[in-house]
Structure 1
Amino acid sequence: MNNFLFVAAENDGIAKCKAGGMGDVVRDVPRQISERGDRVHIVVPSYSRLHQNGSFKTHLNIQLRGITYTAELYEVIPKKEYKNVHHYVIHHPEIEAGDIAHIYHNDPKEPFYTDAIKYIIFCTAVAEAIKKGSFGRLDIVHLHDWHSSLLLFLKTYHPAYSVLKQIRFVYTIHNLAIQGIRPFDNNYSSIKNWFPEIPIDHRGLMDYRYQDCINLMAVGIRFADAVHTVSPSYKEDVLLPSRPPEFIGGENLESDLQKANNEGRLFGVLNGSNYANIRVAETGNIYRNILKAIFIWLQEESKKYKADFLAHTGEKVVEFLKEPPSFVVSSVARLTEQKFYFFKRSPESLITILEQLEKVNGVFILLGTGDPDYETLFREVSYNHKNFIFINGQSEDVIDSLYLETDLYIMPSLFEPCGISQMLAMRNGHPCLVHQTGGLKDTVKHLKTGFCFDGESYDEKIRNMNEVLAQVLDIFTNDKTQWKKIQDNARKMRFTWEKSVDDYYKYLYSINP
């Protein structure tokens, strides 16, 4: 029996520990590993809340800043029990809940300042737990994004954790754009402050642009035994330099990725989707679920500042109870540059979409929270266009209804390492309109399982997006046979974790499955 440890910032295998797609992966892959007869331990930070109903396992005494910190390891109850899958959290008072999904902190003046501190404490505590044998004798440690890569710094440079050198380390890149860059010195969140006894290898750790800083994403790429991108096409993308906004590639780390590829350490394996035990809303409730969510938010103190907008949204949705639209486009995502850059830079492209939809009695429903500039843009568009419904909140019931009931799902992502939303929409037989990049290129085929747009220049991409939507509406309106065929093809597509984890064993873990 092989023994694995997953180390991440998120784990949707336990309640209230998810902000994005990483949480899905850290939930689903261990379940597949357990079905192969192997054992998996998953450890995430407690964020000062997730340990409260857990079972205390051990104290972890670690040396940081020249003093002893004491963290605590708890085993916690998962959403669903699986044989040989064990879930843990690490608690320390300085590992606090952030303002993003009660996980990450947003520090506009000093990016990653607070997160760097809490993940330094977390990773060092994990290293101590491994050293103490809290997870048994490990064969594989699988790290996820920069939040966990400090373990590779400890493995490589810290004499107290030389035991880590005996274990194979795998590093998955979920979002290459978020790199965890912090100063080497002269800052409370610097590596020198937390590890004053370790000489700094500036050349091995530095960011190429800010050479007085450590780049924790680069640490993962440089020191892992295997580096993993979450789709084959995204692997090809990141080997090339970025040319924003036309092309998002290696984000200044392409030379490190090329080196990993030349050394046979870089692999592109597509994420899977969960096709069993699906939490599904009932059909026919989409507008009721939206109104119910709005009513709940209106009673929350934290939503008072947007109460007027929520009421405005509710008024528009009430009309659909009497006269539902004929065609519904939807999108669910955090409001970031990655997801909606096209609409932010070219609001006229969004207006064109709404004008096209108006001709077929169609609406665009967008659900998300995030960057205040994006929230402001979408609220303004909603006030001015009756067929744009901006749901500025988070609701699982509404999200389920959108995946279940809308006619077209749109993902105009600037870049997309893998994407899971398109898989969830296709699972329900809904075609997607996507930008042909990264994992979207691997999962949606134009006029077969959905619709794709691309272009050599930014302007060409915008023009093609609007032209492809016109093509979508023409097929929907005038060629029901082809529309149904595309729907059926989308529904039949299966991106299973079983197949993906077969490739994990072969390429990432170097284990015969």
Structure 2
Amino acid sequence: MLTQGPLRILFVASEATPWIKTGGLADVAGSLPQALAELGHDVRLLIPAYGDVLAQHPRLAEVPVFRAPVAGARLLTSTAEHDSVATWFLDLPGVSNRRGNPYHDDQHRDWPDNGYRFGMFARIAAMLAGGRAGIEWQADVLHCNDWQTGLAPVYAMLGRVPATTVFTVHNLQYRGLFGRDALFELGLPDWLWHYDALEFHDQLSFIKGGLAFADAVTTVSPTYAAEICQSALGQGLDGLLRARGHRLYGLLNGIDDQVWNPAEDPHIPAAYDAADLAGKRVCKTALQREMQLAENADAPLFGVISRLVEQKGIDLILAALPMLLANGAQLVLLGRGDPVIEAALRRIADEQPTAVAVRLDFDEGLAHRIEAGADIYLMPSRFEPCGLNQMYSQRYGTPPLVHRCGGLADSVTDLDDPSGEATGFVFEPASAEAFNDAIVRALDCFRQPARWRRLQETGMRRDFGWQRSAQRYLEVYAEAAPRM
């Protein structure tokens, strides 16, 4: 049962800014705990101590009283707390000395020990939440995120940890599937090998641990919560989600509106706000120069920052490029992903170097400069649990063009919406024809300066900060708490 005063919250994730990032989960894990702490709660963030984290932050201090069921395991912490949240890093021997992507190698092959290291990460998270790892601190709430932490509610249940467990699904497509041997390797009882527990088509599914055993399940937007209860996007887990519907909540993510603020962004060459957009024109020219595009203020500049995978609709962008270029538009794209998609993008950039610029990398500074310098942001995801870049774009006066799904449907208002509060362009279905029609509408609006300025200003006034979402999470914690 939750106390009436400040809560002790252990927030567990496989990545978090500013320490390690491959996608939107890191942004959420870097921001939501801070927002909860700013509301007066005692929040601890737990992430793995990857090789890159240890290399970039060599002065992390060891917590001497920590005890774990793995010989040589260490718990580290930053010598100075990151903002108002204490961050813990779990160092597992033989794992944390690996550099590179946390989940896979350069050929996108999963690391072979993913089951062990994330399973043990989840086990130790439950121990920390229960005050059973040598540290005199115990959580009221154990908040876990995505498949990498899906077993933490299971271990909490097995160990009778009294914390309320909450599991957030950021992307149901990644289910954490391993062979049956992982069940025994991680010390889990045989009765969990059942379709009502962790078994999923003769595999062990980590994400089922969170979905089936957490006190509450949340997703990162209301529309996605409804979508995953249907077979089309339920990834074979829609029946379980429908059964848990009374404990399933859709909460739209927020953004860090201090980090993503064009009026004070150190990554961009000129500051601006909704009252004065002169700096945005400077940012556009600077981005064209940085990416070696033709410096043309009148050319519609489209921006993309994305993992290059089928889910993100990159094939729709590739198919639309001839039409974009025929209309005098330019494209700047930043991201990594499928080698086939990367090769196709690289080939087009080589053929059209003054109109198409591709950076196959993760570059936080460039991401900010694309949001500030682009005119239109493309996000034609086939499905999108929440998405953050469409919110960043609105804050930066860069109207997004999105497919109507998940968090995109919940956060972007179409140009033709009768509310008069348009902030971008929304299309459906996820087809080339519908996407191209939306691009034509966007180009037409771009050529109407007064109408375009209203679209920008409306988007920049939207409040996507974390305070409202953090308050809603507190309500979920209270609703999910076991009643005494």
> Which structure 2 residues correspond to residues 102-117 of structure 1 after superposition, within 5 A?
102-106=101-105, 111=110, 113-117=112-116
Indicate conservation of the 8 Å contact 2:116/2:185, yes or no: no
> Is 1:257 matched up with 2:256?
no
* Amino acid of the structure 1 residue aligned with 2:27: D
TM-score w.r.t. length of structure 2: 0.85
> Is 1:54 matched up with 2:21?
no
What are the superposed Cα offsets for residues 36-88 of structure 1, whole Å, 9 maximum, x if unpaired? 2110011111014535312211365544xxxx533111111468422xx2111
Q: What is the number of equivalent residue pairs in this alignment?
A: 447
- CA separation in 1, counterparts of 2:309 and 2:98? 17
Moved more, 365-374 or 139-148: 365-374
Indicate conservation of the 8 Å contact 2:292/2:357, yes or no: no
> Is 1:377 matched up with 2:348?
no
What are the superposed Cα offsets for residues 447-476 of structure 1, whole Å, 9 maximum, x if unpaired? 011001102xx5xx2201101111111121
> Is 1:337 matched up with 2:340?
no
- CA separation in 1, counterparts of 2:315 and 2:428? 12
> Which structure 2 residues correspond to residues 96-495 of structure 1 after superposition, within 5 A?
96=96, 102-106=101-105, 111=110, 113-129=112-128, 130-132=131-133, 134=135, 136-157=137-158, 161-162=159-160, 164=161, 166-185=162-181, 190-195=182-187, 198-203=189-194, 204-208=196-200, 210-211=201-202, 213-242=203-232, 249-261=233-245, 264-278=246-260, 279-280=265-266, 281-283=268-270, 284=282, 317-318=291-292, 320-321=294-295, 323=296, 326-343=299-316, 347-355=318-326, 359=327, 361-386=328-353, 387-447=355-415, 448-455=422-429, 461-477=431-447, 479-495=448-464
- CA separation in 2, counterparts of 1:493 and 1:114? 43
What are the superposed Cα offsets for residues 376-429 of structure 1, whole Å, 9 maximum, x if unpaired? 111122233342221222322321111112110010111111110011110011
From 44, 49, 52, the counterpart of 2:47: 44
- CA separation in 2, counterparts of 1:362 and 1:422? 20
- CA separation in 2, counterparts of 1:402 and 1:42? 30
- CA separation in 1, counterparts of 2:136 and 2:367? 36
1:511 CA displacement = 8.7
From 3, 15, 19, the counterpart of 1:16: 19
- CA separation in 2, counterparts of 1:277 and 1:107? 30
Match of 1:312? none
1:106 CA displacement = 4.0
Match of 1:93? 93
> Is 1:507 matched up with 2:476?
yes
What are the superposed Cα offsets for residues 289-309 of structure 1, whole Å, 9 maximum, x if unpaired? 6876xxxxxxxxxxxxxxxxx
* Amino acid of the structure 2 residue aligned with 1:215: S
Indicate conservation of the 8 Å contact 1:411/1:435, yes or no: yes
- CA separation in 1, counterparts of 2:91 and 2:311? 32
Unaligned runs of 5+ in 2: 1-5, 271-281, 416-421
- CA separation in 1, counterparts of 2:92 and 2:311? 32
Indicate conservation of the 8 Å contact 2:284/2:297, yes or no: no
Unaligned runs of 5+ in 1: 243-248, 293-316
* Amino acid of the structure 1 residue aligned with 2:456: Q
Indicate conservation of the 8 Å contact 1:453/1:465, yes or no: yes
- CA separation in 2, counterparts of 1:341 and 1:404? 21
What are the superposed Cα offsets for residues 136-164 of structure 1, whole Å, 9 maximum, x if unpaired? 1210010011111121222234xxx33x1
Match of 2:32? 29
* Amino acid of the structure 2 residue aligned with 1:91: D
CA RMSD of aligned residues (A): 2.5
Indicate conservation of the 8 Å contact 1:94/1:118, yes or no: no
Structure (1/2) with the larger helix percentage: 1
Indicate conservation of the 8 Å contact 2:177/2:204, yes or no: yes
Match of 1:310? none
- CA separation in 1, counterparts of 2:235 and 2:113? 23
Indicate conservation of the 8 Å contact 2:220/2:385, yes or no: yes
For 1:69, what is the secondary structure of its paired residue? coil
* Amino acid of the structure 2 residue aligned with 1:452: V
Indicate conservation of the 8 Å contact 2:10/2:141, yes or no: yes
- CA separation in 2, counterparts of 1:250 and 1:26? 24
* Amino acid of the structure 2 residue aligned with 1:272: G
For 1:127, what is the secondary structure of its paired residue? helix
1:113 CA displacement = 3.2
- Give the share of equivalent positions with the same residue, in percent: 25
Indicate conservation of the 8 Å contact 1:170/1:226, yes or no: yes
What are the superposed Cα offsets for residues 289-335 of structure 1, whole Å, 9 maximum, x if unpaired? 6876xxxxxxxxxxxxxxxxxxxxxxxx44535x5562101010111
TM-score w.r.t. length of structure 1: 0.81
Q: 1:98 to 1:444 in 2, by over 3 A?
A: farther
Match of 1:311? none
- CA separation in 2, counterparts of 1:70 and 1:180? 26
Match of 1:295? none
Indicate conservation of the 8 Å contact 1:433/1:451, yes or no: yes
Q: 1:319 to 1:331 in 2, by over 3 A?
A: closer
Q: 1:199 to 1:33 in 2, by over 3 A?
A: same
Match of 2:83? 81
Q: 1:481 to 1:229 in 2, by over 3 A?
A: same
- CA separation in 2, counterparts of 1:80 and 1:125? 22
- CA separation in 2, counterparts of 1:8 and 1:343? 32
Q: 1:231 to 1:77 in 2, by over 3 A?
A: farther
* Amino acid of the structure 2 residue aligned with 1:178: Y
* Amino acid of the structure 1 residue aligned with 2:473: Y
Indicate conservation of the 8 Å contact 2:371/2:396, yes or no: yes
* Amino acid of the structure 2 residue aligned with 1:205: A
